[in-house]
Amino acid sequence: MVSDFGSRRSCGALRASDEGAVVELNGWINRRRDHGGLIFVDLRDRDGITQIVFDPKQPAFADAERLRHEDVLRVNGTVRKRPIGTQNAKLPTGDIEIGVDRVDVLNRSLVPPFAVNTDDDVEENLRLEYRYLDLRRPRLQRNLTIRHRIVKAMRDYFDSREFLEIETPMLIKSTPEGARDYLVPSRIHPGSFYALPQSPQLLKQILMIAGFGRYMQIARCMRDEDLRADRQPEFTQVDVEMSFCTQDDVLEIMETCMRHVWHEVLGVHLPPFPRLSHAQALERYGTDKPDLRFGLELTDVTQIFAHTEFVVFASVVRASGAVLALRYPGGAALSRRDFDALAEIAKGHGAKGMVWVSLDAGGPKSSAAKFIDAATAELLREAVGAENGDAILLFADARGAAASVAGKMRAEIGERCSLRHPGDFAFAWVTDFPLFERDEESGLPAPAHHPFTAPGEGQWDLIDTDPMAMRAQHYDMVLNGFELGSGSIRIHKPQFQRRIFEMLGLTEEQIEQRFGFFVKALDYGAPPHGGMALGIDRIVMLAVGETSIRDVIAFPKNQMARDVMMDAPTSVPESLLRDLALRSAAPVPRPQGGAQ
RNA sequence: GGCGCUGUAGCUCAGUUGGUUAGAGCGCCGCCCUGUCACGGCGGAGGUCGUGGGUUCGAGCCCCAUCAGCGUCGCCA
């Protein structure tokens, strides 16, 4: 970054070849080294650090004695080579320094509450309160820079593939189902509300109906649900939709996008993404977002226990459940107490229990030794491909429940065995999702993704006979165990869309009221279309090796969905509520006692 | 809402089976220092141990409650 304003330069720009140049630098004091008779100041901006030297012979020296961390300076001076032996190889600007002619203190800073010139750990709440200082630190400067490059690479890529970026509104209609909406009350229509978009789903489909053919948008989405390290109430997606396409077309476009981004930004060449069916993913990894950086696939060992006398396993087998085995490399080194702790973790993930078999050199040991003799242990060892020194963990339950627990424990073992290298990028496609899944509470079919997803070829025939068996043209992109996003080929025939709504138990009136505008649009020549949306926050998080998307978002909210810097949300004056025809039903907050 | 971890100086942390005056590094303040770059040297200030209650002769440490932060389950069509 070389500034284009006269003699002004960035703090990362100057080199030995600039010797003799008369320049102006602006920046913050990163560090000051006072030798009494000579003062060095490291001046910092986004671009880098340049050493400024104050000599006692100069009038500016008196100012330099009063400078402190994070003061803001303008420095006018001359670029000169550093004396032999005093160059700093750690800095790109380390061969030169600025001999000061004049310094202006543009602003002073209070002593910052934490060190700005390092990435040392600081309690996150404090970082969020002083986010402007946190953002000055190297880590977030780097993360947001890379985020910019990733988004730019995406825009360039989609532009080159003839996608148009089109903005969609933030104030839209609430369409119940799905996540909880953020609502915005209407002043002009008392008692009525806009919703903030959970995604531009229907709008982008309508853009296809409108004939735009290929759409993309860097779109902000809002969902009022509980937060996680990888979930914020507002987040950003690269949202994509295209007409007259097949599922393979969408996968090709999106996969090439990621390959382009990784190459442009990280200089990494990605291999083709492996494809797994949803059923395969569950069977082999116990999750629909497997971490493919390592193997340790689950093994179905139900047959080995077909005639077991072990009551726990026998009853599972009788109930058509499954016994799933997971290899724990080096797990034989664990003590009984260690295995007990591991079983507790499994229970935390919903396991009814966990049986372990330790393949010790002196013969197998097990928490169910009475029922797992040496021959059985050998069968297990062969089945999971384990070696002496490994352990095998067994989970028995209904097939889905056992797979879910075993999948989470697979991640745990991968972590313990250091198989999840942050620099590895294991992308994958998961395809052939079921169209419906059983709603836990009502027991009725509910859309596995959203109700606009088209079933696969020939699947419509099943809707009256076996809807739960219907496969969808729905696909997820997965990276290192995170779901980056999902997409589908959409239903474009209005009669089919109505059929799905009916299937979900919506009445004619409800369809009209909630989705009438959309079904009407389908009636006017909607083209076949499909698309996808990827979570940019998660992509950037994984690209830069962070473990929370808060570290790739400039102003994130904490786990209680609070903006700690602004202190939002807050109550508002009664008069504002009156304008909106609202009255708060919230309990009167009790005085906050003893925060920190 | 459940479970887990955490809360001691401005920051990051240590603090023994409960025992006298709660420590370290960094930062901060002052003085000294002309080639440092995590500069160095000397000196100094700085603590309701998250909050409230309890047990005890005595609590940073034990117990109960509560607040806050993070992780996770539920939730996220």
Query: pLDDT tens digits, residue range A406-435?
Result: 999 999 999 888 899 888 999 999 999 999
Q: Give the 3-state secondary structure of A430-497.
A: EECCECEEECCCCCCEEECCCCCECECCCHHHHCCCCHHHCEECEEEEEECCEEEEEEEEECCCHHHH
Q: Which of residues 277-296 of A touch strand B (CB under 7 A)?
A: none
Residue lying closest to nucleotide B31, CA to C1': A36
pLDDT of the residue at A523: 97
Give the distance, in angstroms, between residue A99 CA and nucleotide B35 C1'.
13
| A217 contacts A239 by C-beta, under 8 angstroms | yes
A382-407 CB burial, b ≥16 within 10 A, e <16: ebbebeeebbbbbbbbebebbbbbbb
Complex-level ipTM: 0.94
Establish whether the CB of A58 is closer than 7 Å to any nucleic acid atom in strand B.
no
* Tokens at A420, concatenated: 């999840």
Instruction: Please check the confidence at residue A272 and state whether its pLDDT lies above 90.
Output: yes
Instruction: For A114-161, write each residue's pLDDT tens digit.
Output: 999 999 999 999 999 999 999 999 999 999 999 999 999 999 999 999
pLDDT of the residue at A202: 96
| A458 contacts A499 by C-beta, under 8 angstroms | no
Q: Which amino acid is it at A286? A: G
A112 nearest nucleotide via C1' and CA: B10
Q: How confident is the model at residue A590 (pLDDT cuts 50, 70, 90)?
A: very low
Establish whether the CB of A591 is closer than 7 Å to any nucleic acid atom in strand B.
no
A560 nearest nucleotide via C1' and CA: B69
Establish whether the CB of A48 is closer than 7 Å to any nucleic acid atom in strand B.
no
Establish whether the CB of A555 is closer than 7 Å to any nucleic acid atom in strand B.
no
Give the distance, in angstroms, between residue A189 CA and nucleotide B27 C1'.
56
Which whole number is the average pLDDT over A218-244? Answer: 97
A224 nearest nucleotide via C1' and CA: B76
Give the distance, in angstroms, between residue A38 CA and nucleotide B33 C1'.
9
Peptide bond into A56 cis (omega under 30): no
Instruction: For A347-387, write each residue's pLDDT tens digit.
Output: 888 888 899 999 988 889 999 988 999 999 999 999 999 99
Instruction: For A88-118, write each residue's pLDDT tens digit.
Output: 999 999 999 999 999 999 999 999 999 999 9
pLDDT of the residue at A26: 97
Establish whether the CB of A550 is closer than 7 Å to any nucleic acid atom in strand B.
yes
Instruction: For A436-452, write each residue's pLDDT tens digit.
Output: 988 777 778 888 889 99
Which whole number is the average pLDDT over A525-543? Answer: 98
Contact positions of strand B to protein Cβ (< 7 A): 1-3, 7, 10-13, 26-29, 32-40, 50-52, 66-77
pLDDT of the residue at A488: 96
A89 nearest nucleotide via C1' and CA: B37
Instruction: Please check the confidence at residue A575 and state whether its pLDDT lies above 70.
Output: yes
Give the distance, in angstroms, between residue A114 CA and nucleotide B25 C1'.
14
Give the distance, in angstroms, between residue A217 CA and nucleotide B35 C1'.
53
pTM of the model: 0.95
Q: Measured in whole angstroms, how far is the alpha carbon of residue A332 from the centre of its chain? A: 35
Q: How confident is the model at residue A594 (pLDDT cuts 50, 70, 90)?
A: very low
Establish whether the CB of A590 is closer than 7 Å to any nucleic acid atom in strand B.
no
Q: Which of residues 113-132 of A touch strand B (CB under 7 A)?
A: 113-115, 120-126
pLDDT of the residue at A592: 40
Q: Which of residues 11-40 of A touch strand B (CB under 7 A)?
A: 31, 33-38, 40
Instruction: Please check the confidence at residue A3 and state whether its pLDDT lies above 70.
Output: no
Which whole number is the average pLDDT over A478-499? Answer: 96
Establish whether the CB of A271 is closer than 7 Å to any nucleic acid atom in strand B.
no
| A85 contacts A94 by C-beta, under 8 angstroms | no
Q: Are strands A363-366 and A48-54 parallel, antiparallel or unpaired?
A: unpaired
Among A26, A21, A22, A32, smallest CA distance to A11 is for A26
Residue lying closest to nucleotide B77, CA to C1': A178
pLDDT of the residue at A595: 33
Give the distance, in angstroms, between residue A594 CA and nucleotide B57 C1'.
30
Instruction: For A154-186, write each residue's pLDDT tens digit.
Output: 999 999 999 999 999 999 998 766 899 999 999
DSSP per residue, A217-285: EEEEEE--S--BTTB-SEEEEEEEEEES--HHHHHHHHHHHHHHHIIIII--PPPPPPEEEHHHHHHHH
pLDDT of the residue at A422: 84
Establish whether the CB of A176 is closer than 7 Å to any nucleic acid atom in strand B.
no
Establish whether the CB of A595 is closer than 7 Å to any nucleic acid atom in strand B.
yes
Establish whether the CB of A66 is closer than 7 Å to any nucleic acid atom in strand B.
no
Instruction: Please check the confidence at residue A591 and state whether its pLDDT lies above 50.
Output: no
Establish whether the CB of A566 is closer than 7 Å to any nucleic acid atom in strand B.
no
Q: Which of residues 519-548 of A touch strand B (CB under 7 A)?
A: 548
Give the distance, in angstroms, between residue A347 CA and nucleotide B25 C1'.
41
Residue A284's contacts (CB-CB under 8 Å, 6 or more residues apart) are: A276, A290, A297, A298
Average pLDDT of chain A, as a whole number:
93
Instruction: Please check the confidence at residue A593 and state whether its pLDDT lies above 60.
Output: no
Q: Which of residues 387-416 of A touch strand B (CB under 7 A)?
A: 408
Establish whether the CB of A438 is closer than 7 Å to any nucleic acid atom in strand B.
no
Establish whether the CB of A8 is closer than 7 Å to any nucleic acid atom in strand B.
no
Among A589, A560, A584, smallest CA distance to A573 is for A584
Give the distance, in angstroms, between residue A594 CA and nucleotide B46 C1'.
22
Handedness of CA A254, A287, A470, A201 (dihedral sign): negative
Give the distance, in angstroms, between residue A182 CA and nucleotide B20 C1'.
59
Establish whether the CB of A348 is closer than 7 Å to any nucleic acid atom in strand B.
yes
Q: Which of residues 195-254 of A touch strand B (CB under 7 A)?
A: 198-199, 201, 223, 225-231
Give the distance, in angstroms, between residue A450 CA and nucleotide B77 C1'.
5
A57 nearest nucleotide via C1' and CA: B34
Establish whether the CB of A468 is closer than 7 Å to any nucleic acid atom in strand B.
no
| Cα–Cα dist A588/A585, whole Å | 9
Residue % of chain A over a pLDDT of 90: 83
pLDDT of the residue at A299: 95
A229 nearest nucleotide via C1' and CA: B71
Give the distance, in angstroms, between residue A24 CA and nucleotide B46 C1'.
39
